[in-house]
Amino acid sequence: MAKHRRRRDPNRQDEPKKPRRSQPDAGGESFDSSRFERDQYNSDPLDDSLDDEDLRRLAEALGDEFEVVGPEDEGDLETAFIVQTIMPTVSLEDLLNRLIHQEGVPPLEELYALSDLSLQGADLLRRRWERIPVQRRRAVVAELVALADDDLFLLLGRMLRVALSDSDAQVRQTAVKGLWEDGQPDLIGPLVQLLHNDPEIGVRAAAATALGGFVLAGELEELDTALAMRAEEALLGILTDTAQPLGVRRRALESIAYSGEAGVRQLIEDGYYSPDEAMRVSAVFAMGRSADVRWRGLVRAELQNPSAAMRAEAAFACGELEAHGALNDLLALLDDLEPAVRRAAIFALGRIGGSDARDALEAVMLSDHGEEAEAAEQALEEMAFYADPEAVSLFDESEDEDAEWEEDADAWYDMDDRELGEYDMGEYDMDDDGADGDEEYDPDADGE
């Protein structure tokens, strides 16, 4: 039976994000670095010693990319760890005064005062936030959200929750994107409110994307069913209301694709046959996200589409669905004129695996194309991980799916993914969308 795994950043970053540790108010076990913070407006300082349980949780939080060294390696384990923690050079109160009264954005080491806020610190920020000039608020939120992609110890949960209610739409939208992997249930209510009521389409679309994480968490049984259903119902209400803006509806389709509800497949199919090019692209994105192998034939067919946007999303979907029959088509896309399509093909080859894919990725890694070489290296690392004989396959194709499938389910399931689906070239009005391959595909663009 098909199983979900967390996919690439829904904000369409081609480089996979690193795992994030929990926010300060998260449930469950996580390593707590707040003991190293000394500002009264950051999390309360605790005893600065590390016991065995702390070290175990630290190792789990850091993952395979980090190594917990022993005294024989560094002389002092705790000192070696503290070097990596956030040490703001000013207090939160001093930082806010500078943001309000001084020109420009303070240096990064001062902005760290906004990380891992205590409840008292979040309250102080809420009272003074709107006094900061709007251009400076935009710059601060954008810089910290970008930095958080790579800094495991930068915790912006409480700071970004304050920014969700900013009077400026750009700040709200950036805050929503920064919270997409936060995962705390208290965000569902504010995100639903933004989805339904925000005056800006970009903010509403970002909220629809962020709610997809809660749908996935429900499918993975990491979130209470009632809470996951609240997110699903909000997305469904937007998706089925044709009066809603296309840019919001297409993100709702992408997010609800995580759901295992029987009707979701029909929603994806409706999107695929939509007269709107952008909605068709989102439908192919949703096919990959659904983990439903019955879409393999269609997504492989779209690898030949004249639209760069469609080719890129089809390549990603082939990777998500592990469509081995698409291997030769994906190898050909490594020479596509569009960089986004080439990167998508690299991603897909890493997911599909095999000697031919490995040889092609190694050649790209050794090339002088910087971003693509880095993407190929990451794809090879993922390929090696999933080639581990102890790794669990996401698609158990030896057993039948649930009885909820339609009467033709067996025909779908037994179809070799080498059998292509079809699309009607006449449906693609390239003049309206400008996605004929002459312009670089912008995956962040929303429809009106």
pLDDT 10s digits, 327-345: 999 999 999 999 999 999 9
Pairwise CA distance, residues 367 & 339, whole Å: 14
Domain for residue 118, yes or no? yes
pLDDT at 424: 44
pLDDT at 423: 40
pLDDT at 262: 87
- What average pLDDT does the chain have? 79
Does residue 9 surpass a pLDDT of 80? no
Does residue 63 surpass a pLDDT of 70? no
Domain that holds residue 129: 19-182
Please give the model's pTM, rounded to 2 decimal places.
0.74
Do the beta carbons of residue 215 and residue 258 sit within 8 Å?
Answer: yes
Does residue 316 surpass a pLDDT of 60? yes
Domain for residue 198, yes or no? no
Residue whose entry in the numeric block shows the structure tokens 């909820």: 404
- Count of structural domains, the chain: 1
Instruction: Please give the full DSSP string across 224-241, using - where no structure is assigned.
Output: -HHHHHHHHHHHHHHHT-
Question: Higher pLDDT residue, 322 or 75?
Answer: 322
pLDDT at 88: 82
Give the pLDDT confidence of 105-155 residue by residue, as tens digits. 999 889 999 999 999 999 999 999 999 999 999 999 999 999 998 888 899
Q: How far is CA 98 from the centre of its chain?
A: 33
Give the pLDDT confidence of 163-207 residue by residue, as tens digits. 999 999 999 999 999 998 899 999 999 999 999 999 999 999 999
Domain for residue 77, yes or no? yes
Domain for residue 26, yes or no? yes
pLDDT at 150: 83
Pairwise CA distance, residues 417 & 152, whole Å: 39
Structure tokens at 317: 């979907």
Do the beta carbons of residue 149 and residue 78 sit within 8 Å?
Answer: no
Q: What does the chain come to in residues?
A: 448
Domain for residue 380, yes or no? no
Domain for residue 102, yes or no? yes
pLDDT at 251: 98
DSSP state of 177: H
Does residue 160 surpass a pLDDT of 60? yes
pLDDT at 38: 40
First to last CA, the chain: 37
Does residue 352 surpass a pLDDT of 70? yes
At a CB cut-off of 8 Å and minimum separation 6, what does 13 contact?
A: 149
Q: Report, as an integer, the average pLDDT of 39-57.
A: 56
Lowest mean pLDDT among 83-87, 109-113, 146-150, 291-295: 83-87
Picking from 271, 294, 295, the residue whose alpha carbon sits closest to that of residue 283 is 271
Pairwise CA distance, residues 213 & 219, whole Å: 10
Pairwise CA distance, residues 112 & 142, whole Å: 14
Domain for residue 249, yes or no? no
Give the pLDDT confidence of 210-252 residue by residue, as tens digits. 999 999 999 999 999 999 999 999 999 999 999 999 999 999 9
Neighbours of 442 (CB within 10 A): 12
Using CA atoms of 173, 174, 177, 179 in order, give the dihedral in degrees to the nearest 10.
Answer: -110
Domain for residue 157, yes or no? yes
Does residue 73 surpass a pLDDT of 70? no
Question: Higher pLDDT residue, 98 or 408?
Answer: 98
pLDDT confidence band for 57 (50 / 70 / 90) = low
Pairwise CA distance, residues 30 & 167, whole Å: 34
DSSP state of 322: T
Do the beta carbons of residue 7 and residue 138 sit within 8 Å?
Answer: no
Pairwise CA distance, residues 257 & 252, whole Å: 9
pLDDT at 125: 97
Q: Report, as an integer, the average pLDDT of 375-401.
A: 69
